[in-house]
Amino acid sequence: MINRIVAVAALVPAMLGATAGSVPAQATPKASAEVVTLTYDAGGAGKWADAIKKAAENWNAAVHNVHLQPASSAASADFVYKATSGWPQSTLGPVFPGGSGEVQLGEEAVTEGYDLARVATHETGHILGLPDDYDGPCSEIMSGHGPGPSCTNDKPDATEAAQVDQNYARGASAARLKGRHVVVDIWRDAPAFATAR
């Protein structure tokens, strides 16, 4: 009996060593059992329509646990896009089905020279629960106006995508936010701020 225990004890480290080498250093995020579908309405977005389509494509290509698609009607949308004359602002999510998120795509960002698709993808990132990171590089979509108007990257990076996947990992049954916060993005050399509504 003792010989069997010693033999098994000797095999365990060998077996662990054989399997440990086969695990990749960074596992690819897996989709949750239930992919959350968020619907949006862009009927009031005017010239931003192409940028919104690109933003949805960018997020859908980057994440696994949530999928963005146009709503069948404005009334059934989980969030809406609107063109405004002011600064871009968004509901800070994560927004879930049945939610009431809003993205205001402000003309002042365009006047400052910022890329429409970058602005739309950035503001959609807020809907998906990502905060601003203005100190980040151009490769981060949530760095927003930080890198300046010459930055036209409109795709989220792997870290941002992983955070969104984590936000939606529990599917549509995840806990909802109690309060509603709006992030106002000033796309110039002034700080952004969040307000509770």
Please confirm, yes or no, whether 123 is among the known catalytic residues.
yes
Exactly one of 102, 123, 140, 160 is catalytic; which is it?
Answer: 123
Contacts of 28-33 spanning 24+ positions with Cβ under 8 A = 29/64, 29/65, 29/161, 29/162, 29/165, 30/64, 31/64, 31/65, 32/64, 32/65, 32/168, 32/169, 32/170, 32/171, 33/171
Token pair recorded at residue 46: 């005017």
Which residues are marked as active site?
Answer: 123
